[in-house]
Structure 1
Amino acid sequence: MLTTPPRRTGRASRSASELAFDALRNEILRGELAPGERLSEPDVSARLNVSRTPVREAFQQLESEGLAVRQQGRLVVAGLTITEATNIHLIRLSLEKLAIRQAMAGDRKKLARQLEKTLHDMRYELLGGDTMAAVDAARAFHETIYRMTNNEMLERFLIQVYNRVDQYRFSSSGQGPPRLHHTDEEHERIIAAVRDGDVGTAENEIASHLQRAHEFLISAMSKEQTA
């Protein structure tokens, strides 16, 4: 599972908080901790076998990345409504078009090579039947783009956007092999535009890809809410 790069401070408690954060984030994104489920310091501390201070720090990081929220004084796993998902999609659309434009202004050949690697990884995992790993590789495609912008603020915003929808992408039927095969084709078209240096086409392909992914997500969420 891809995670936010750990911050190095040299303190043992910080290292423990990073481990706790990564463990909780993975559990949330994979649906092991459901939306609305309470996060308790004593329970998580005992389960992860760490003290409460790093757990408290991990909770703060979960809040800052939009994975947990306060409700009536309690910290719970964040949920997502269809309206919120649609609003997030509109924000993501603008941010990712900006990201591909800025990334292509840099080392375009390196960008294309790294995107090709994520596409290869996704195909490998799909052939092996590991859908979760394939979804990881699909997210790595987008992470590659925003990290090559060298725009830390943009990267931070996009990480928050991904965290808000990824728990549904992992758990919903809309992100299974059929959707991932379409993702393969869409990513390949984006890479072709990057190789050609065609920024306008790259932006259009990104927008088209995100719109299709959003439609699949909304369809899956609707089915889950009516099940």
Structure 2
Amino acid sequence: MPSEIQAHKDAYDLVLDAIDKGEYRPGDRLVEAELAERFGVSRTPIREAFQRLETQGILARDGRSLIVASLNHDQIGELYVLRAELEALAARLAAQHATPEEVRVLFSMIDEDRALMDQPERMSRANKRFHRQLHLASHNRYLVQQLEAVHRSMALMSVTTFQAEGRTGVALDQHRAIVDAIAARDGAAADAAIREHISSAYETRLRQGAGRL
């Protein structure tokens, strides 16, 4: 049997993971009893997971109910500004500190992700794994924590940019440019490459938003 502490940790991670995978979308109502049954835990750790996620802005109040939060136009812009700065720092640090093994793993991930060109949801998950690996290559635990918070908020965007035509190929080419710079130990080039990547993703998201008007 898992300990009570482990059950509480697992409940938070399970709810967050379900949101991150798109199983619960912005605006969806979360019901404590339903999630407790789904994940096989008591309602207490689910309740505490809800409280933690509400504090982090992942969940929001809608009357007496809790729903998955959504981001407005300004919030999305603010999030991309912060993400660009933090990702650029991670890329510069990775150019200094990434091990040869970490660089090889990043290159291999790009090669493997080429098989997902026509699978936007799977590519979205692969993209998160790539960025997570890049963050770890910075070898700065506090930066990694901040980037994790940013990427939690990114899960509140209900549509992946990889649904846009041609986006996957462009993103993978940009990933290659980022890792090429890291492999060359060129922090300035890595910074510039990842800023271009984030800017391109933001522009794609803005176009998607405009298309839904």
Give your verdict on TM over 0.5: yes
Q: 1:22 to 1:178 in 2, by over 3 A?
A: farther
User: Aligned match of 2:133 in 144, 150, 156?
Assistant: 144
Of 46-55 and 137-146, deviating more is 46-55
SS of the residue 2:85 aligns to: helix
Shift of 1:74: 4.2
Partner SS state of residue 97, structure 2: coil
1:93-104 to 2 correspondence within 5 Å?
A: 93-104=84-95
* C-alpha displacement of 1:18: 4.2
Q: Specify the code of the residue in structure 1 equivalent to 2:162.
A: Q
Q: Report the Cα offset of residue 71 of structure 1.
A: 5.1
What is the identity, as a one-letter code, of the residue corresponding to 2:202?
H
CA distance in 2, matches of 1:150, 1:64: 28
Deviation string 1:37-73 (CA, Å, 9 cap, x unpaired) is 3323223223434210221232244335542234556
Q: Offset of 1:19 from its aligned partner? A: 4.1
Deviation at 1:36, TM superposition (A): 2.8
In structure 1, which of residues 68, 71, 81 is the aligned counterpart of residue 59 of structure 2?
A: 68
Q: State the alpha-carbon separation in 2 of the partners of residues 142 and 59 from structure 1.
A: 26
More relative contact order, 1 or 2 (CA 8 Å, 6+ apart)? 2
Equivalent residue in structure 1 for 2:168, among 161, 175, 180: 180
**Whole-angstrom distance in 1 between the partners of 2:197 and 2:142:** 23
> What is the CA-CA distance between 1:119 and the residue it aligns to?
0.8
| Aligned equivalent of 1:196 | 184
TM-score (norm 1): 0.81
**Residue in 2 that maps onto 1:163:** 152
- Contact 2:95 2:181 survives alignment (8 Å): no
Q: Distance in 2 between matches of 1:212 and 1:13?
A: 44
Query: Deviation digits for residues 77-133 of structure 1, max 9, x if unmatched?
Result: 11111110101111111111111112222134233212112212311333xx43322
Q: CA RMSD in A?
A: 2.4
Counterpart code for 1:142:
H
Query: In the alignment, which of 175, 181, 195 is matched to residue 207 of structure 1?
Result: 195
- Tell me by how many angstroms 1:199 deviates: 1.0
When the two structures are superposed, what TM-score results if normalisation uses the length of structure 2? 0.86
Partners of 2:33 and 2:43 within 8 A in 1: yes
Q: Distance in 1 between matches of 2:55 and 2:100?
A: 34
- Contact 1:104/1:197 (CA < 8 Å) preserved in 2? yes
Secondary structure of 1:114's aligned partner: helix
